[in-house]
Amino acid sequence: MTCSSLVLAQPSSDAQTLAETLNALPQACITSTTHRLSEQSIQQLQILYQTVNYVPMWQDAAQRQQLLELINDTQYDGLKPQMYQLQHLAALQQPASEQQHICDELLVSHGYLQVLTHLRDGVLDSQQVEPYWLEAAAMQAPITSIIEVAAVGLNNLPQVFADVRPQHSAYQKLREILKSSYLLAQADWGEVAVQGKSLRVGMLDPRVPDLRQRLQLAGYIKDSPENALTPVENVTGDIVAVDSLLYTDELSAAVKAFQQDHYLEDDGIVGPATLREMNISPEQRMLQVRANLERLRWLDQLLEPTMLVVDIAGARLLYFRDGDIVWRTRTQVGTVKRQTPLLKSRITHLTINPTWTVPPTILREDKLPAIRRDLGYLARSNMSVLDYQGNVLDPSSINWHAPSGIMLRQGPGPSNALGLVAIRFANPFSVYLHDTPSQHLFGRATRTVSSGCVRVEEAQKLVDQLLFDASEQELERIALIKASGKTRNVNLPKPIPVLLAYWTVEVDIDNRLRFRSDSYGHDQKIIRALQAVQR
């Protein structure tokens, strides 16, 4: 069976022959196709052409041009248009044998299916590159087959491309800003040397010209000759121009704006963290944007209209109700060594006035050294020593240099590591959201300070949001439990989905492109995987 008979004939009753023909497709086409289609791709083409009764789909020149423009537009989705059989789309406009013409038709259809799949589901398998732990009860209904979407979309190509993209604003805004972003235009902006003291206003430093150029190229100060010299009044009252090596108030203001866009301490001081972010090239930033667009396509499958989202890289929490953000706050998340895990689950209950059983890693690495220095640390911290059956032990009877069969438990109260409330959801990592006595840490720009759990600023306000549907009687009961100081679990009126997610690029309310440090190194895994398949 030739490619021609595959498309123009009625559906074959010989499925094996059909599969063999499609499997041999790249060899049958005298083109630049360099790899065999996967078995899944062949099956998708079989089903797609069965769906449209084997009628050729790309005979109309206007429709081919529309498809070409839509595929090229996916560069703003972080995709590589050349992946989607553009050479075969162009070939359909040229004279060719019937077999070659039909082969080009089929490969264009393959590109069409592939680009729709990548726009909706991502280029990569998320669970292979950036896996999330997913609670079975938190999973959503299966999505529509991409073949069904593609078949219907033939009647309105612009609409199907728009529909398969993630609809949430984070993705849409990031995609739109790429159309005018300096990231697509800049070749490079050089580096600012990292050697030397942190720059403060009034200092003279040979790195200042490079710093000024870097800020100009990124649009933080106007590119004008006057910026190279700073007029000041000398001791005699004359206006003079000082050396361009001076770190001025103007440069400091531009640095502060840069720091705000990169989630750094906006103090105007050019230190190691600021220099590290400044020296990331436009090419690297573009790779970071592509990685985050891919990540946002994955996350779109996990989002629900009403849910709680922990933004790990941004150390913040967003509470959505019916698709709108109704409350947000700052958080403290896991350190690089003790990372907050990626997961989706459901918040089922609260622990009011919680106790805290010290996890083994924290016991070994943090608590034992403190106890060995001073046994009184236990009493000051309101901690008891227990065996694995829950029996209280005498601390002085323990060999703290080689303890075994023990655990530490901190009693409830304002000084408890979990504060006055813990917010619980199923997961295999023993993590949860909770209050904290370490309120001062919320003032930091970088808040990767916990041991993996998520500390929530104004945690009681989050509890109020979670209890939005609770009755007055239930709210009064919870208030009494809180006042009693006793430890009690309280079920939510209904479970609420919770997503602990990670992304490092976003567009803020002022339409500014903002970057976070990839503190956990997750971006690089996605970048490497995308580069491997988008060559």
> Which residues are marked as active site?
434, 453
Rounded (5°) CA angle 436-440-445 = 110
Query: Letter for the amino acid at 207?
Result: R
Query: Letter for the amino acid at 151?
Result: A
Instruction: Take residue 513 and report the two structure tokens written for it.
Output: 């492109």
Instruction: Take residue 213 and report the two structure tokens written for it.
Output: 């150029």
252's enclosing H/E stretch is helix 249-261
Instruction: Take residue 504 and report the two structure tokens written for it.
Output: 């490092």
Closest to 465 measured CA to CA, from 317, 248, 344: 317
Question: How far apart are alpha carbons 359 and 339 in whole angstroms?
Answer: 14
500 and 269 Cβ atoms separated by less than 8 Å: no
DSSP secondary structure, 457-482, as one string:
TTHHHHHHHHTTT--HHHHHHHHHHH
Question: How far apart are alpha carbons 108 and 85 in whole angstroms?
Answer: 6
How does strand 343-352 pair with strand 133-134? parallel
Instruction: Take residue 395 and report the two structure tokens written for it.
Output: 């601390």
Instruction: Take residue 82 and report the two structure tokens written for it.
Output: 């050349």
> What are 320's strand-pairing partners?
307, 325
330 and 316 Cβ atoms separated by less than 8 Å: yes
Collapse the DSSP code of 406 into the 3-class scheme (helix H, G, I; strand E, B; otherwise coil) and give the result: strand
Phi, psi dihedral angles at 57 (to 5 degrees): -105, -15
Query: Letter for the amino acid at 286?
Result: M
Per-residue buried b or exposed e for 398-431, using 16+ beta carbons within 10 Å of the residue's own CB: bebeeeeeebbebbbeeebbbbbbbbbbbbeeeb
Closest to 386 measured CA to CA, from 394, 374, 378: 394
DSSP secondary structure, 148-173, as one string:
HHHHHHTT-HHHHHHHHS--SHHHHH
